[in-house]
Amino acid sequence: MKFGGTSVGDAACIRRAAEIVVDAANDSSLVVVVSAMSGVTNQLIVAAQQAATGNQHDWDDLPVSLREQHFAAAQTLVVNESRRSELVAELDQITSEVANLCRGVSLLRELTPRAHATISSIGERLSARLMAATLCELGLDSVVVEATEIVITDDQYLQAEPLMAQVRERCKERLRPLLNDRVIPIVTGFIGATVDGILTTLGRGGSDYSATTLGGALDADEIFIWTDVDGVLTADPRLVPTARLLHEISYNEAAELAYFGAKVLHPKTLRPVVAAQIPVWIRNSFAPEKDGTRITSIGHPTRVGVRAITAITNVSMITIGGRGIVGVVGVAAKTFQAVANVRANVLLISQSSSENDICLVVDSADAPQTLKALRDAFEKDLVHHDVEHITLKSDIAIVAVVGEKMRGTPGIAGRTFSALGRAGINIIAIAQGSSEYNVSFVVESGAMRDAVVAIHDEFKLHERVAQASGAPD
Ligand code: ASP
Ligand code: MG
């Protein structure tokens, strides 16, 4: 079970989360993964960046406020005197590490990726202690296990990839014995370490990925991601008020939705569980009585067609175009090599068959360096007018229509684009992967909401369909 930042946001939330664990511990053995209390990771990162400017007063409040916040939760959650003083001593020690680390960064005036990872991981180390102590208070046996001992990763310190074979070994050595003794391990989410023991992080929001990595390594029966929403919906309810909970979706559908900005899961979350077909649940820790969404390999057994719509903003479209590129071999290769060199994440690619344009969409944060890399790569061609322009458009959004069983269902693209036509929405670019799990297109950001609503209506996603299979729709 993994509890996200809001699910451990304060003492009352931690207590609620702990009760969920107590319930589950009755009839199964489990490992718990926690995020930092909500907001803490952001504060740590800001402090680390400020420390790098060399100005102590910008960050020296943070260790103090973190200590207060976590002490306050400890006071409420832990009544047993000796347990509480032990907990408080640990929290104290960890928060003073923040001060030391920031001091080091500020002396050097340099924030290396390693220092960045170490500072940003403090929140999980604190919240894990609170959770373990609370479970002990509730009569369970529970200990903190540092992810650095078990989640072995490569050395991309801020976007580390777990090395599954080694994680498996470590889990066998470190977690299995605890489970056999009916002790509940509380593992710090988000964090890993290289084989040499240097701390890494799995990227922002990475504790989902921690949970599935450990679940996969332990051959778990099920994985529960406890968060602050009921599950995965047909669309963002802020865009579409009639959006509805989906009870069962497939790994592919969930991955497409995560990739295209539905903020329920970290995009890499499902990778470690697909092969072993471990079901992943998204559940609401504030309403544990609700069913949530179950993510499996087949998804809903009978429902076909479009299941959900998602949209992302803060993206930019880069177009490389001009008559000069028609028929020129290697333009695409050169384009994507340049993009890869700056490690920009490409969200969508489209090329028309006339080959007049190649367009690609990247995160707006990556856009300036991507544009520069492309202009550099095509410098000679631009001079010779083989490529006539490389342009950037930032006021756009990607809308993606997602469904595992859209594959082989004719007419979906037709209905999608007719609905957009009727709503008077102009489509700037279109892409469909050959997997057919999604059709995505680019619109002006001002038209995004109308586009999502129009398609949601067209496919009547607000309606539950009676299922002959009896499976919840
Ligand atoms: N605390 C980390 C973050 O805010 C990891 C997570 O929440 O999953 O990014
Ligand atoms: Mg989080």
pLDDT number for residue 434: 61
pLDDT tier at 323, thresholds 50, 70, 90: confident
pLDDT number for residue 202: 97
pLDDT number for residue 82: 97
Among 124, 159, 204, 265, name the best residue to mutate to test ligand 1's pocket (greatest count of ligand atoms within 8 A of Cβ). 204
Q: Is 344 in the pocket of ligand 1 (CB under 6 A)?
A: no
Q: Is 441 in the pocket of ligand 1 (CB under 6 A)?
A: no
**Would you say 127 and 133 are in contact if contact means Cβ atoms under 8 Å apart?**
no
pLDDT tier at 330, thresholds 50, 70, 90: confident
Q: Is 35 in the pocket of ligand 1 (CB under 6 A)?
A: yes
Residue range 384-395, pLDDT digits in tens:
877 888 999 999
Q: Is 123 in the pocket of ligand 1 (CB under 6 A)?
A: yes
Enumerate the β-bridge partners of residue 145: 187
pLDDT tier at 416, thresholds 50, 70, 90: very high
Lowest mean pLDDT among 11-20, 73-82, 458-467: 458-467
Mean pLDDT (the chain, rounded): 92
Q: Which atom of ligand 1 is nearest to the CA of 202?
A: 5
Query: Among 111, 403, 445, which Cα is nearest to 248's?
Result: 403
Give the pairing of strands 142-145 and 184-188. Answer: parallel
pLDDT number for residue 140: 97
What distance in angstroms lies between residue 426's CA and the mean position of ligand 2's atoms?
A: 35
Q: Is 189 in the pocket of ligand 1 (CB under 6 A)?
A: yes
pLDDT tier at 203, thresholds 50, 70, 90: very high
- Residues 6 or more apart whose CB falls under 8 angstroms from that of 413 comprise 432, 439
DSSP state at residue 404: G
**Would you say 226 and 7 are in contact if contact means Cβ atoms under 8 Å apart?**
yes
Distance separating alpha carbons of residues 207 and 339, to the nearest angstrom: 28
Distance separating alpha carbons of residues 112 and 108, to the nearest angstrom: 10
What distance in angstroms lies between residue 355's CA and the mean position of ligand 1's atoms?
A: 42
From atom 7 of ligand 1, which residue's Cα is the shortest distance away?
205
Q: Residues of the chain with pLDDT > 70: what percent?
A: 96
Which ligand approaches the C-alpha of residue 45 most closely?
A: 1
pLDDT number for residue 303: 80
Q: Is 204 in the pocket of ligand 1 (CB under 6 A)?
A: yes
Q: Is 185 in the pocket of ligand 1 (CB under 6 A)?
A: no
Q: Could you tell me the pTM of the whole model?
A: 0.88
**Would you say 282 and 264 are in contact if contact means Cβ atoms under 8 Å apart?**
yes
pLDDT of residue 467 exceeding 70: no
Please state whether 146 falls in left (phi above 0), alpha (psi between -120 and 50) or beta: beta
Instruction: Give alpha helix (H) positions in 138-163.
Output: 147-150
Residue range 252-304, pLDDT digits in tens:
999 888 777 667 788 789 999 999 999 999 999 999 999 999 999 999 888 88
From atom 6 of ligand 1, which residue's Cα is the shortest distance away?
205
Residue range 339-393, pLDDT digits in tens:
999 988 888 888 876 667 889 999 999 999 999 999 999 988 888 877 888 999 9
**Would you say 377 and 231 are in contact if contact means Cβ atoms under 8 Å apart?**
no
Please state whether 332 falls in left (phi above 0), alpha (psi between -120 and 50) or beta: alpha
Q: Residues of the chain with pLDDT > 90: what percent?
A: 77
pLDDT number for residue 28: 94
What distance in angstroms lies between residue 10's CA and the mean position of ligand 1's atoms?
A: 15
pLDDT tier at 233, thresholds 50, 70, 90: very high
Give the pairing of strands 438-444 and 429-432. Answer: antiparallel
Mean pLDDT across 106-133: 97
pLDDT number for residue 254: 92
Mean pLDDT across 102-126: 96
Q: Is 205 in the pocket of ligand 1 (CB under 6 A)?
A: yes
Distance separating alpha carbons of residues 5 and 7, to the nearest angstrom: 5
- Residues 6 or more apart whose CB falls under 8 angstroms from that of 324 comprise 381, 384, 385, 386, 387, 388
CA of 60: how far to CAs of 44, 63, 130, 142, 240, in Å? 11, 6, 23, 33, 43
From atom 8 of ligand 1, which residue's Cα is the shortest distance away?
205
pLDDT number for residue 300: 87
Which one of 6-15, 396-405, 464-473 scores highest in mean pLDDT? 6-15
DSSP state at residue 426: P
Enumerate the β-bridge partners of residue 143: 185
pLDDT tier at 331, thresholds 50, 70, 90: confident
pLDDT number for residue 258: 79
**Would you say 121 and 157 are in contact if contact means Cβ atoms under 8 Å apart?**
no
Q: Is 9 in the pocket of ligand 1 (CB under 6 A)?
A: no
Q: Is 41 in the pocket of ligand 1 (CB under 6 A)?
A: yes
pLDDT number for residue 435: 67
Residue range 21-78, pLDDT digits in tens:
999 999 999 999 999 999 999 999 999 999 999 877 778 899 999 999 999 999 999 9
